[in-house]
Chain A
Amino acid sequence: MAGVLAQQPGPSVWFPRASGGTIGKAAVTPNEVDPLVVRVQKGDRAAFQQLFARHRGDVARLVYRMLGGSVDLDDVVQEVFLQVHRSIGDFRGDSKLSTWLHRITVNVVLMTRRAARCRPVYSAEITDETPHLLPVDSGLAPDEDAHRRERVRAFQRCIEKLAEKKRTVFVLHELEGVTATEIAEIVGAPVLTVRTRLFYARKELCELMREEPTLAAFAARFASAKEGDTTEPVRSVGEETS
């Protein structure tokens, strides 16, 4: 099933999914520095371009999931890799390359958000209404697909309302599939703290969903469904349209 996280055997593979994936799928175990990284550390320009090509999609996805479409993703992704280039000399393989990349990405994203908060917002920059969800070939009817996109957008708004630390943990764990242990390493917090933040992120999201009519109706449809069934119930005619 697309999007379902499943732990794969072997230390070098991270939760491969039909879509998305995580940063550093080809990561080696800690203390075994990727030869490509070694070349980059030696100043190999081509190696860095190769590293960029290998991880740019994963970095862009994480940036997008953490920031939404409200910023210029190009600039943020570029800043992430600039930071990677500046800091890669310090990478000693103590952690996975993926964890290290996550940490840099999260830091750049947080800096971007903080900078954006300090920046005056002009009317032309109000991006809350900017459509940024792309059409996905979900195999649904056009109206169903429109509903799905609307739900996802509403859900994104809920995530945006989470506090920064909770949102970071939620995105890393639920959307990127990063383990609590690695999140703890990325955000520099104890594992227990990561778990607690994740719990309250979910709890707050449930509360926020109640405030979003689209999501509240969507949740109500599951209330009568059989527990454990995560498949989306068939929507009755007229539901969510009134």
Chain B
Amino acid sequence: MTSSNDIPPSTPSGSQGPPGSPGEARALRILIEQLRDEPTPPLDFDRIERSMMAQLDAERRLEQPRRVGVSRLVVAGVVTLAVAAGAMLLMREKGPLFSPSRGSMAQQLRSIDATSADQRVTHVGIGSWVAERGAKVRIVEESADRVVLALDEGSLIAEVIPKPIPDRFVVIAGHTRVAVRGTIFRVVREGDHVDVAVTRGVVAVGAEGATSGVSLVAPRSGTFDLEGKLRGETSVVVPTLSNPLLQGTDAAPTEVRTADPIDASASANTPADSSAQAKTESSSTVTSPRGSGSVPTKSAWLDEANLQAHHASIAADCFRREAHLPAGVNVTATTTLVVTFDANHRVSASSFRSPLAPAVEQCIQASISGEKGPVGTFETPLRLVTGD
């Protein structure tokens, strides 16, 4: 007879002697038995059960909405996983999203149709872009650090937050792929070509799936066919290529889309492509003339919409010519040109918010001195960059 089933009553691990005298050990065993025989005090189990079930019911009522919420989350998670798995399968079947194959843009997360008005889209942490009126854009890939757009029609302007992540913002027009890391740029797709203009940063343009292409360093523009091949040569672009809907840009809030046509003869960047010239006009992606005052106006004086682009073009040209920097040295200057036209539509005053080199200021002021424009004072933010 023993008081325990598997433990010797008086030895730890069977290695030590009894904890007490034999009499104490025997008394201990009897006391244990007597204590074991002691009945538990009577409890009101019915009351316990009622109280307990009431509490459980209360907890259940409290948890009901949360459980529904959790179940919905689970369902949403399952759906998301299923979609992701389907997308992965699709990609596996069709190869890389941007492979040279023509059917590679089957993916589509969202379509932006700016038929009646500009549509602005912001990707937190990456940047913003505006689908200009008439544009049709599809977001084919969107993640925390990468956005891929397909420009099916029209134009878009984008500002991408600079980060050293390759291809974090990509626009595909036809099979022309425009990849940027951080910049302000505009892509116009029309007919069989794509115009790309960069006002800040660097944009790589090439064929979809190709490993090489053309780098457009701001301020520069180029016209490409739908296979990503450069047509003609690139040309300088004025630094006003922005859209007021884009926030955070330091470019002027110029209405670039609805500009009156600037003389197309000045946009000689794509001489072999008349349609490209027409596009340049309509999008006010003007090329910089090689001499001041060489951007003629179509009307008697510059209208308000064209004024800033015109002044920016003059300033860019003067800055490039008068800066006199050693080869390989690039300088960027930011200021605002303030021009006042009197009642006779002539320039009565001009100044710079931040001073430029005297030679540059004189060049600009001399260039605009004979202009005619709408009555009033007009400001043109300038971001002037030397070098190509």
| Interface residues of A, Cβ cutoff 8 Å to B | 1-5, 7, 15, 17, 19-20, 45, 48-49, 52-53, 56-57, 60-61, 64-65, 69, 73-74, 77-78, 81-82, 85, 132-134, 136, 138, 148, 151-152, 155-156, 159, 173-175, 177, 179-181, 192, 195-196, 198-200, 202-207, 209-210, 215, 218-225, 227, 229-232
Contact = CB atoms under 8 A, between A and B. Distances in A.
B5 interface: yes
Interface string B20-45: 11111111111111111111110111
Nearest to A209: B24
Contacts of B48: 56, 74, 77-78, 81
Nearest to B52: A78
B51 interface: yes
B92 interface: no
A199 B53 CA distance: 41
Contacts of B1: 1, 4, 230
Given A74-B47, A175-B35, A5 B3 contact: yes
A55 to B, nearest CB: 11
B41 A69 contact: yes
A48 B51 CA distance: 14
B12 A61 contact: no
Interface string B35-74: 1111111011101110111011000000000000000000
Contacts, number: 175
5 contacts: A53-B49, A64-B40, A77-B48, A177-B5, A219-B21
Given A200-B12, A220-B23, A230 B35 contact: no
Contacts of B52: 52, 78, 81-82, 85
Contact of B55 (A15, A73, A82, A225): A82
B19 interface: yes
A223 B26 CA distance: 9
Interface in B1-18: 1-7, 9-13, 16
Contact of A152 (B25, B38, B40): B38
A74 B23 contact: no
A133 B11 CA distance: 31
Contacts of B9: 202
Nearest to B21: A223
A51 to B, nearest CB: 11
B28 A206 contact: yes
A195 B13 contact: yes
A196 B12 contact: yes
Contacts of B23: 219-225
B253 to A, nearest CB: 60
Contacts of A151: 31, 34
Contacts of A20: 36-37
A2 B151 CA distance: 89
B20 A179 contact: no
Contacts of A209: 20, 24, 27-28, 31
A17 B27 CA distance: 20
A136 B39 contact: yes
B306 to A, nearest CB: 72
Given A174-B4, A223-B22, 4 more contacts: A206-B24, A206-B25, A220-B23, A230-B30
A85 B55 CA distance: 11
B19 A152 contact: no
Contacts of B21: 206, 219, 223
Contacts of A159: 35
A60 B34 contact: no
A225 B24 CA distance: 11
Contacts of A136: 37-39
B34 to A, nearest CB: 5
* 4 smallest beta-carbon distances between A and B, as pairs: A206-B20, A203-B19, A199-B12, A223-B23
Given A77-B48, A134-B38, A195 B7 contact: yes
B11 to A, nearest CB: 6
A184 to B, nearest CB: 11
A224 B11 CA distance: 22
Given A2-B37, A82-B55, A219 B4 contact: no
Contacts of B44: 74
Contacts of A223: 21-23
B30 A64 contact: no
A202 B28 contact: yes
Given A174-B3, A209-B24, A199 B29 contact: no
Contacts of A221: 23, 27
Nearest to A7: B5
B34 A198 contact: no
Most A C-beta atoms less than 10 A away, residue of B28, B39, B53: B28
A173 B44 CA distance: 27
Contacts of A222: 22-24, 26-27, 30
Contacts of B4: 5, 173-174
Contacts of B47: 74
A215 B31 contact: yes
A86 to B, nearest CB: 8
B6 A179 contact: yes
A152 B41 contact: no
A195 B12 contact: yes
A3 B37 contact: yes
Contacts of B13: 192, 195-196, 199
B56 A85 contact: yes
